[in-house]
Structure 1
Amino acid sequence: MSSEKKIVFFDLDGTIYEIGKGTPDSSREALHRLRENGHCVILCTGRPVASLFPEMLELEHDGIIAGAGTYAEYGGKILRNELLPNSLLLNMIPRLEKAGCCVVLEGPEYLSCRMEGEAFTWFRILKRLKEEYPERLKELEPMTDRACKITVQIPDSEAFEAMLPELDRAFEIARYERQPFAELMPKGISKADGIRILLEELEIPLCNTYAFGDGPNDMEMLQYVQYGTGMGNAEESILKGAPYTTEPMWEDGVMHALERYGLI
């Protein structure tokens, strides 16, 4: 194995973490061995900082890219903390709700939603915040909320698709294949862009980069790094678009891929 430092980016949900089940032991061991071998481990998630729970932050890591690239930190130093303009929220949220969407604003300090609406039916993260971290959950207020991205549940595909041309001008859109959800990020920002900022800070060349992911907000990341790896349990678009693939998360996919790459 080369002694040159490599940097490895890991999506959380569906890659090294599953709600209700946690993290495979093999993935925990892989993260430990990576760092033991002198490489950097970065958690690279669509979740904002406000919905990163203790069991995630306890995973061995050196830095975090959160909010699908809107937030980046390394060694305790915040390198980016991008928010959506409130003028955009004021304009778009009523229209998304008119199209029937259940809207959740996600930010570095809290998530906001219609507390008396259907959000708790659709979003398990909101239920946990309400039960365990109520200070991280509030009523949706587009005029003042600090949000880095929007997640919507889509009950009417036709109504949502009618909005897509306008949404595409304002946001980066990651739409899920298996579930009626979409994520709306600031235009021009993705996990790949968060990675770019971190690489510039650490002066690590692109040829030393690896990433693992399974969902639609991972595509740019997997195609940006040198060795982008889709998990075997990933959505079909990821399995087709990722340069490399590995076994599913619960079949030790991360461990097997890192061994094949010679990193552990």
Structure 2
Amino acid sequence: MDKHLIFMDIDGTLVTKDQQISARTKLVVSELQQAGHQFYVATGRKYSSASEIAKRLNEQTQVIASNGSVYSINETLHKNRLSDEALQFVYQTMTEHRLPMFFFGEHTIFYTQQLPSYLQKNDQSRIGNTEEDFLFIDSLETLMAVSPRIINGIIIADDREAELEIVRKFLEESQLLSVSSSHPNNIELIPLGVNKATAIQAVRKNLAVPQKNIISFGDGLNDLEMLQASGVSVAMGNAVDELKRHAKFITKTNVEDGIAKFLLDYFY
């Protein structure tokens, strides 16, 4: 079969809640890589966290991180970042609404307000890592001093979905950045014009793989553009309903080896 490019979201797709990849999935991915197909993780996580998950599959698995802002092609790392204007607007808007902010570099999380407990548990969550990778932002001046290191960000506010919808409109209308969501409790802050699909298109063109040979797996709304850019779009059984409506196929859940099951049916 012709060479395929396969892109897999991480949380809710490739891994379980305890950050595990099943042995069956590892085996299927390895066999298909040996047959000449190429695999990427494609995630909203920062690059270092995404790379760690990719390595749990094997060293051949490549990375799209920060919702398409960072991606690798043939050992070369390509980056986009939030503009200074976007960072200033986000900081001023979220401060006015007293919403917590997290900004991500390749390895560092910059945060305002109190650091949530789930970020202090050594990568127990989708955006955590180790304590020394956290830097507190206490003012706009502090934020701008580290702005060259910031790639993307996220606003997380449990039980404040209505307020998030209000600030989301402000962010969209600013035309300074792109926004998405992986869950109703967050707004993902992405460089303008960037998403997982733009990274996929760059990888696809560089490797000369036709769109019909692109397979993508996802579960959240931040996977929508990725699925739309793929010839074979697959929603996990645990995906949000809107993503399922846009996918060509629906597989089993992330805890039922959904990726492995679909790949076995598709290739064998």
TM-score with structure 1 length normalisation?
0.88
What is the DSSP-based 3-state SS (H/G/I as helix, E as strand, rest coil) of the residue aligned with 2:255? helix
Q: State which of 2, 5, 19 in structure 1 corresponds to 2:3.
A: 5
Deviation at 1:69, TM superposition (A): 0.4
**1:191 counterpart = 2:196:** yes
Q: State which of 144, 147, 159 in structure 1 corresponds to 2:163.
A: 159
What is the DSSP-based 3-state SS (H/G/I as helix, E as strand, rest coil) of the residue aligned with 1:128? coil
Deviation at 1:30, TM superposition (A): 1.7
Match of 1:38 in 2: 36
Unaligned runs of 5+ in 2: none
User: Paired residues, what number?
Assistant: 255
Map 1:1-264 → 2, pairs under 5 A = 2=1, 4-52=2-50, 54-60=52-58, 61-78=60-77, 80-114=78-112, 117-121=113-117, 124-128=118-122, 133-140=130-137, 141-143=142-144, 144-145=146-147, 146-154=149-157, 155-168=159-172, 169-177=175-183, 179-262=184-267, 264=268
CA 126–46 in structure 1, closer or farther in 2 if over 3 Å, else same: farther
Q: 1 CA distance for matches of 2:150 and 2:86?
A: 11
Is contact 2:42–2:196 with CA below 8 Å preserved after alignment?
A: yes
What is the DSSP-based 3-state SS (H/G/I as helix, E as strand, rest coil) of the residue aligned with 2:98? coil
Residue identity in the other structure for 2:164: F
Is contact 1:99–1:160 with CA below 8 Å preserved after alignment?
A: no
Residue identity in the other structure for 2:161: S
CA 125–211 in structure 1, closer or farther in 2 if over 3 Å, else same: farther
Q: 2 CA distance for matches of 1:40 and 1:52?
A: 16
Residue identity in the other structure for 1:232: G
What is the DSSP-based 3-state SS (H/G/I as helix, E as strand, rest coil) of the residue aligned with 2:224? helix
Q: 1 CA distance for matches of 2:5 and 2:39?
A: 6
Query: Could you say what the CA RMSD is over the residues aligned between the two structures, in angstroms?
Result: 2.2
Q: CA offsets, 1:161-202, max 9 Å, x none?
A: 22333311233222245x411212112111000001111211
Q: 1 CA distance for matches of 2:120 and 2:247?
A: 31
Q: Which moved more, 1:168-177 or 1:231-240?
A: 168-177
Identity of aligned residues (%): 22
